[in-house]
Amino acid sequence: MNQPTNQTQTTVRTPPPGHPGDRILRQERINALLRDLEARRASISIRFGQDQEFFHSTLNRMDPSRGWLFLSELSPYQGNLRMAAGQQVHVYAVLNASCLHFRAEVLHSGEHDGEAFYVVSMPAELDSEQKRAHFRAPVDDALGTPVTLVDRDGRHFNGNLADISLGGLRAAFPIKTPIHARDLLTLSKLVLSGNEPIECGIQIRFASDDRETGERLIGGRFYDLSQTDEQTLLRALLLMERERVHQNGAGHKGLYPPGQ
């Protein structure tokens, strides 16, 4: 069989970083993730600046041709008082096993059937800003979330979680538990909201006995927290905060803007 002698071979090359084609491919990947969130009518979390409080909304629709994302009314309701045009916000979402974060600008606000909606800018990049999002989630006492700390001699100390953030935790232990400020311990397989167990180092920042409650309250800062465990912890924190809002009776209908 005769073979063509002047066959042209085409090689598909990945554009180098910074090349316009690389930016296009990156934006396509981001748009694909956002479309997944849109299809799921995914719940998202909104944070203003360096504030620790999170507000919750829903990604209702995206319009890539205009670079717009449509969000539902925020809960708790106080968050809506801050969603003015020009306001910069941090947006977080849980998608499969990953946590997504991006910054966005509020472009427009409106109302439909008595409920607010917002248009914010689509992101040009996703990043790992969550490392600075040390909001602190209180833990329901009824859950009795156990905490085990291990010292260098292998001794295990068992207590209960009081609150937790990406930066560290507070927990209550039996009074006179031999844990002191500046101790370096290991947090052993902490399980939150059905997620995978978290294990890392913890530096004790304070420890004090409360004789009225018969407990020793400690506060510690995480270190050597792996990226995987950080993602697990952020996902658990967002789910815990979302559940707290749900239990307080806050919610939103997730409406589409009129005419969309």
Residue 154: predicted pLDDT: 95
Query: Where in the chain are all domains bearing CATH 2.40.10.220?
Result: 137-245
pLDDT of residue 3: 42
Q: CA angle at residue 166 from 162 to 167, to 5 degrees?
A: 85
- The whole-angstrom distance between residue 44's C-alpha and the CA centroid of its chain comes to 9
pLDDT at position 246, please? 61
Q: List, by residue range, all CATH 2.30.110.10 domains of the chain.
A: 20-132
Cα–Cα dist 109/115, whole Å: 11
pLDDT for position 77: 84
Count of CB atoms situated within 10 Å of the CB of 196: 15
Q: Is 105 helix (H, G, I), strand (E, B) or coil?
A: strand
Strand residue runs (E) in 97-143: 98-112, 115-121, 137-138
What's the CATH number for 137-245?
2.40.10.220
Taking the CA atoms of residue 111, residue 135, residue 230 and residue 58 in that order, the dihedral angle to the nearest 10 degrees is -10
User: Cα(211)–Cα(92) distance, rounded to whole angstroms?
Assistant: 41
What's the confidence (pLDDT) of residue 37? 85
Return per-residue pLDDT of the chain as tens, 260 residues: 444 344 433 333 334 445 554 555 588 888 888 998 888 887 788 888 877 677 888 898 999 999 999 999 998 888 899 999 999 998 988 776 567 888 999 999 988 877 889 999 999 888 644 444 445 666 655 457 899 999 999 999 999 998 888 778 999 999 989 999 999 999 998 988 777 899 999 999 999 998 888 999 999 989 888 878 877 887 787 777 666 656 665 444 433 333 33
Q: What integer pLDDT is reported at residue 203 of this predicted model?
A: 93
Question: 20-132: which CATH topology?
Answer: Pnp Oxidase; Chain A (2.30.110)
Tell me how crowded residue 123 is: count the other CB atoms within 10 A of its CB: 20
Q: Which amino acid is at 227?
A: Q
What local confidence, expressed as pLDDT, does residue 230 receive? 79
